[in-house]
Amino acid sequence: MAIAAINKIQKKNKIPILCGGTGFYIQAVADGILIPEVKPDWKLRKKLEKKSAKELYKMLKKLDPSRAKNIDKNNPRRLIRALEIVMKTKKAVPALKKNPLPYPILILGVKLSKKNLQERIKKRVDKMIKLGLEKEAKKFPLPVIGYQEWSLPNPKDSIIRHTIQYAKRQMTWFKRDTRIHWVKNYREAEKLIKKFL
């Protein structure tokens, strides 16, 4: 879907900008990793749903170590989907066919200190809670960060801790990509963009 949108923007002689996403998503778009359209296997999902997130993560680590490094290991829904893909295709995602973008790309990453990142996460969690996260989480009890913690004794602290852990895993993923230009501020980003254009 992203590739089609990028191509459409390019045809209009405009510059597409992809902002945000997980490390795997950015890599999939930049490298044109063609993830097969695997239809849901409800029988397999039902079987996998009986396992804990820890067990699912252990299975994924064995079948697709690269994908396991980037996934939220506390999110059974994502773990099950990743397992479904690798079990149905019999291939680890990085081994899947690649069709890189036919034009140059510039990847920027914002470099924050550990302290600054943690402060931003705390502020973001505070804001989400003020905007009604608890009510939303109880209405849609999904097994994802920000939703699953409301049954714990200190949900706010748990959400912050899980988000910091997830950010750390994402940074580990991003650090492996040597194409990323790390910037500390807008000026550094602007300089790189002007040079790229």
Q: pLDDT band at 72, cuts 50/70/90?
A: confident
124-144 burial by CB neighbour count: b if 16+ within 10 A, else e? ebeebbeeebeeebeeeeeeb
Question: What is the total count of domains within the chain?
Answer: 2
Give the pTM: 0.69
**Is there a domain that residue 53 lies in?**
yes
Residue 189: inside a domain, yes or no? yes
Query: Once rounded to an integer, what is the mean pLDDT over residues 65-88?
Result: 88
Residues 173, 153: one domain? yes
Q: Which CATH number is 191's domain given?
A: 1.10.287.890
Residue 102 lies in a domain: no
pLDDT value of position 73: 86
Q: What is the mean pLDDT of residues 119-144?
A: 92
Give 37's pLDDT tier (boundaries 50, 70, 90): confident
Is the same domain home to 39 and 84? yes
Query: Given 3-state DSSP classes, what are the helix, strand and coil percentages for the chain, each rounded to the nearest 5?
Result: 60, 5, 35
CATH number assigned to the domain comprising residue 75: 1.10.20.140
Of 53, 70, 95, which one is at a domain's C-terminal end?
95
Do 145 and 172 share a domain, yes or no? yes
Q: Range of 60's domain?
A: 2-95
Both 9 and 43 in one domain: the answer is yes
Do 139 and 84 share a structural domain? no
- 115: Cβ–Cβ under 8 A, 6 or more apart, which residues? none
Per-residue confidence band for 172, with pLDDT thresholds at 50, 70 and 90: confident
**pLDDT one-digit tens code per residue, 175-186:** 889 999 999 999
User: Taking 80 as the threshold, does the pLDDT of residue 36 lie above it?
Assistant: no
In total, the chain counts a number of residues equal to: 197
- State which of 33, 67, 95 marks the end of a domain: 95
State mean pLDDT over 132-141: 89
For 72, 76, 83, 92, 110, the CA distances from 54, given in Å and listed in that order, are 11, 9, 13, 19, 31
Q: What is the mean pLDDT of the chain?
A: 89
Which whole number is the average pLDDT over 147-171?
92
Predicted confidence band of residue 75 (pLDDT cuts 50, 70, 90): confident
pLDDT of residue 24: 79
- On whether both 182 and 137 belong to a single domain, the answer is yes
Q: Is position 101 within any domain?
A: no
- What pLDDT score does 96 carry? 63
